[in-house]
């Protein structure tokens, strides 16, 4: 079983493009049984040279991430075009993610590389695919999926950053590092209801202590839209820190948000 968290973990393969993509898919789906991929790597063996392989990743049965080869299989390429969406809400379409500096045909043997980062903890999953090489910025494609009861909520973003994002930036699910750090707006897949996190705590705990509740509330136009139990609301913490509570260790994924990691 994969670790609950992973930061900038190398996924690489020396061989054909099909072998690299297979390695990538197996690594990502191996993080959790809740993550699935549609689209077979056998697309690379199609006799139709106009084929453009594409692969869609779903979490808890909800499609959120699509990787599409930048060119058809007769053409040299060195990247996937990645789209991020939640239900009917398309967030980003065909943003580049390069695996090498040199374009090659799929059958050419070479070394191709992506990085992935993740938090996979029960009903909470954060997944990031990061470019293997820098090209006018380091490309990051990030999705988050939270299951609470029979409901599922998602959001995500794409960014070209000036470095590989530090762990405490990447693992922040309150504010995105884009466009003036807008808040995450989570989308309920079945109803389309959206909400952003609002902490119940407007005070700081005494040193060495922390107050928390075993859920997090999300609001829309000042009204509570929904709450989730996979994220805890708490008094102020440092993003990226591990916090010990009575029932185990928790990772701070926002200034007032915790996710269980042990």
Q: Mind listing the pLDDT tens digit for each residue in 201-225?
A: 988 888 888 999 999 999 999 999 9
Other Cβ atoms within 10 Å of 113 Cβ, number: 18
pLDDT the model gives residue 207: 82
Structure tokens at 138: 């380091």
pLDDT the model gives residue 204: 85
What is the model's pTM? 0.96
The tokens 């059958």 sit on which residue? 107
What is the H or E stretch that residue 23 is in? helix 17-29
Report the distance separating Cα 167 and Cα 118, nearest Å: 10
Residue by residue, DSSP assigns 172-193 as: -SSB-SSSS-PBP-EEETTT--
**Below-70 pLDDT ranges, the chain:** 1
Residues 6+ apart with CB under 8 A from 1: none
CB 153 within 8 Å of CB 226: yes
pLDDT the model gives residue 139: 96
Convert the pLDDT of each residue in 123-162 to its tens digit. Answer: 999 999 999 999 999 999 999 999 999 999 999 999 999 9
pLDDT the model gives residue 180: 77
Closest CA to 55 of 110, 103, 17, 8: 17
């Amino acid at each position: 079983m994969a670790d609950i968290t992973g930061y900038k973990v190398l996924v690489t393969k020396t061989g054909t493009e099909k072998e690299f993509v297979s390695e990538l898919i197996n690594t990502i789906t191996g993080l959790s049984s809740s993550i699935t991929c549609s689209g077979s790597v056998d697309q690379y063996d199609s006799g139709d040279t106009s084929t453009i392989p594409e692969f869609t990743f779903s979490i808890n049965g909800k499609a959120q991430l699509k990787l599409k080869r930048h060119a058809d299989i007769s053409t040299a390429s060195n990247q996937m075009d990645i789209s991020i969406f939640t239900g009917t809400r398309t967030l980003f379409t065909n943003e580049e993610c390069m695996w090498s500096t040199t374009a090659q045909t799929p059958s050419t043997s070479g070394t191709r590389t992506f990085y992935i980062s993740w938090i996979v903890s029960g009903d909470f999953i954060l997944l990031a695919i990061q470019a293997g090489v820098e090209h006018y910025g380091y490309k990051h494609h990030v999705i988050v999926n939270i299951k609470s009861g029979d409901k599922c909520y998602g959001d995500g973003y794409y960014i070209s950053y000036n470095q590989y994002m530090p762990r405490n930036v990447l693992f922040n699910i309150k504010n995105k590092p884009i466009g003036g750090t807008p808040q995450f707006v989570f989308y309920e897949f079945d109803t389309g209801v959206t909400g952003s996190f609002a902490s119940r705590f407007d005070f700081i705990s005494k040193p060495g202590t922390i107050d928390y509740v075993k859920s997090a509330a999300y609001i829309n136009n000042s009204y509570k839209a929904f709450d989730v139990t996979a994220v805890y609301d708490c008094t102020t913490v440092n993003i990226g820190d591990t916090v010990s509570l009575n029932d185990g260790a928790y990772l701070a994924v926002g200034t007032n948000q915790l996710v269980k990691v042990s």
